[in-house]
Amino acid sequence: MDTMSSVEYNLRTLPTTSITLFPARAQISREVGDVPLQPGTNEVTIIGLSPTTDEHSIKVEGSGEATISNITVERLANKEQFDDVYPDEDEDVLSDQDDLDTDDDDDGEDLKEDEELRAAKAERQQIMDSKELTSHRISCLQHNNGALDGYINNVRAEHNTDVGEASEAYQRLRQNNYRDLLAAQADQRHQDELLKEVDAKIRCLTKRHRKQTAQARRQKRLAKLHKAKEQLKASRAEEQRMEEKRRIRVERSKFWPKYVYAVRIQLEVSAALPSHGQTCSLLLSYVTSDAYWAPSYDLQLSTQSATGTLCFDALLTNATSETWDKCKITLSTSQATSSSLADKAPELREWAIKRGSNGAPLLYSRDEHQKRIKGPPMAKQARANRDTMFGFAPNDPRVPQDYQMQLMLLEQQNKKRMEMARQEQNPVTQVPFQAPQQMPQRIQAQIQAQAQAMAQAQQAQPQAQDMTQQTFGSDQYDRTMRARRAPRSHQRAFLNVEAEVDEEEESFSASGGDETPREDPNLAFQNSLIEQTGFATVYELQGPKTLAPSSTSAKQRISTIALSAIKFTHTVVPKLKAAAYLTATIANTSRNILLQGPVGVTLDGGFMGRTTLPRCPGDGAELRLGLGVDHAVRVVYATPEVRRSGGVSYNEERKIYTRSVYVENTHSADSIRLIVKDQVPVSKDERVRVEVLHPDKLRAEHHDDDGQQKQQQEVAEVGEAGRKADEGQWGRAEVKMLKTGAVDWLVTLRKGRSVRLALSWLVATPLGEEAMQVDH
């Protein structure tokens, strides 16, 4: 039996050649180059297609000395490890631990005495030693004097001692001894003077040394405070980095496939070809859901110049498990997966009737009745549940657990930083903090309280958890990250540390503030290439793009359209609401077909809000966009009046109804155009007559038998100034009435002016009868 040569490729390693995004799906093309071939049967396996792939849309093409004999698509469980695809880059979590253990513990060491102070103290010690010797001499001399006095007092004749010689010797010795005593006392006094001078010098030097020691201690404390602040910043940066990492990890877990599709391609190679060096190239194309594009617009209008700018953007969405890196992206307005392919045009069956006394009326046929009962057919474009496609199972052993250990170590580091900074802060700042033995208890209480609050929130929101954690990601990992953030409140003690350090650094001088800033040019966008292909419009984005799975959409500029000759019109229906609604009529003179989509509207530099832009073809087609109420146009609708006619009539009763509206233009710009709408009743009874009295000669437009609309005989100018100051200067107005009784005033109102528009009509009914409204 012949052996089969097999080669396997992971879709992640295959380059993406092109992507075509449609409003509902996307078509992907990937290239498999230099596939090694052996004579006989070769099997090429491509594994890793997103679970959102339409398996029936997979196509394989290629080039080379081989024949495609079979293509199979299989659904396999995802065997890849999350940590292998997205490896952990934080292997140096404990790198900051050594910095905490190497702090110098020399807070109790004072600054060493300088040479001058030590010399002064040594000099004092010498003086003190000399003084001790002098005191000893004085004591000896005094003792000698006492001995001489005792000796001379005990001299008697019986001792055979010459009294004279003894007396002379006594005097000589006593005189010498006294001379020595006086000299010793003089030395002692001199030594006392020297001691006072040295003590004064020592006191001065000691004061200077204490000042230097205090300054050195203060510098050391500030250095430690700076270090504590840097550690706090590093801790916050590390926490933010871990938070961002957690967010990215949770985001990636939303698109981690539970199963993937594998495409197996069998290639037959002729045995006559060489057994080495034979290759071929394959092109894999497929359609996937959950990847699409949608239009988004930004419209800037100016009422003064009647111009605007429309920015046409595309929101690109990729909610699959694949990343399309550096590829060509094309946008198409065609519905690539339209469900209407299965819809057939309905066929009319014979509408047969016959004579009878009972039966259904002939207003609708039997088929129409059935359609009205069933209603319109529902679209059956089923959307697969993402729970079965993406995320981790609750007990999946592949769920990474190493983060828990890293987060615990990081939390211990943060606690140690906080404790050290708090201990260093207490002897410096005068803010009454908690006692050292009370701070950990408070932190633990906060941790427990926040943990209980999070547990209650988890119990109160099971639906939200089902939609986020259980559906798309690891629940255990998310709880660990939330528990890590619980003790963050004890960082508030560092606010005082930062404030003190900032006070020491307030010697900053902003001397370079008068430099004239350089004006940078405005950034430009890359517009797309536009091509009309049959019923669809294709936009080709310039340059290679990367589209990774994300919960948010990426925005790409398609084109920027300059709008001119925009018509701004105010519509007033005072009978229902006394307000002027501004409407912009925009002509799309570009080649772009504007699809229906959200648009942000900016009017005269002020953002108005977001609304929906209707679909509009190009080449001069117009669209109308409502801009809401214009409060600069004041509208007052007077109270309706009714009175009996003064004429004499013996067979009918007449009443005259009067309505009036007051419009004022408070805009600072030029005149504005308004369409003021009102109505008069239309008689559905030949015995009830309605006649318009004011404006004069107002008649309803009607149509000829051929359907052509007849114009009114004359369009008379109507309206009167709202104020005496506006007489003859307010503008002009025309009025017309439709067959339905609608009355439209076309008003051109100048700035700062006002106009009053009046409408009155007569209703005549037979005597004793009243005109009644007819329900629709």
Nearest to residue 567, comparing CAs of 582, 555, 578? Answer: 582
Q: What are the backbone angles phi and psi of residue 221, rounded to the nearest 5°? A: -65, -40
Over range 17-37, report the average pLDDT: 93
Cis peptide before 695 (omega within 30 of 0): yes
Question: What domains sit in the chain, N to C, each tagged with a CATH number?
Answer: 5-82+258-332 (no CATH), 115-227 (1.10.287), 634-766 (no CATH)
Mean of the per-residue pLDDT values of the chain: 77
Short-list 563, 133, 12, 317, CA closest to 141: 133
Cut 0.85: pTM above it:
no
What is the full DSSP assignment across 720-737? EESSGGGTTTSEEEEEEE
Rounded distance between C-alpha atoms, residue 692 and residue 733, angstroms: 18
In the DSSP assignment, the letter for residue 52 is T
Give mean pLDDT, residues 663-686. Answer: 90
Higher pLDDT, 770 or 291: 291
Is residue 172 over pLDDT 90?
A: no
Of residues 462 and 559, more confidence is placed in 559
Check residue 141 and give its pLDDT. Answer: 82
Contact criterion met (CB below 8 Å) for 313 and 297? yes
**334-388 confidence digits (pLDDT tens):** 864 444 566 677 778 777 776 666 666 666 777 777 776 665 554 444 455 788 8
Quick one: how far is CA 367 from the chain centroid? Answer: 54
The predicted pLDDT at position 494 comes to: 43
Q: Pick the residue with more confidence: 368 or 229? A: 229
Would you state the pLDDT for residue 685?
87
pLDDT recorded at residue 510: 41
Q: What is the pLDDT of residues 491-542, one digit of tens each?
A: 444 444 444 445 544 443 444 444 445 555 555 556 666 666 667 888 999 8
- In this structure, of 126-135, 431-440, 496-505, 706-715, the range with the lowest mean pLDDT score is 431-440
pLDDT tens-place string over residues 384-426? 578 888 887 665 655 545 445 555 555 666 666 566 655 555 5
Structure tokens, 12: 């992640």
The mean pLDDT of 189-210, rounded to a whole number, is 89
The rounded distance, in Å, linking the Cα atoms of 327 and 30 is: 10
- 744: which strand partners? 677, 736
Between 716 and 578, whose confidence is greater?
A: 578
Residue 615 has pLDDT above 80, yes or no: yes
What tens digit of pLDDT does each residue of 77-126 get?
A: 999 998 888 887 655 444 444 554 445 555 555 668 888 888 888 888 98
At residue 451 the predicted structure's pLDDT band, cuts being 50, 70 and 90, is: very low
Question: What residues contact residue 607 under an 8 Å CB cut-off, 6+ apart?
Answer: 600, 601
Model pLDDT for residues 557-595, shown as the tens digit of each residue: 999 999 998 999 999 999 999 999 999 999 998 888 889
Share of the chain above pLDDT 70, in %: 69
pLDDT above 90 for 607: yes
Confidence at residue 484, expressed as pLDDT on a 0 to 100 scale: 41
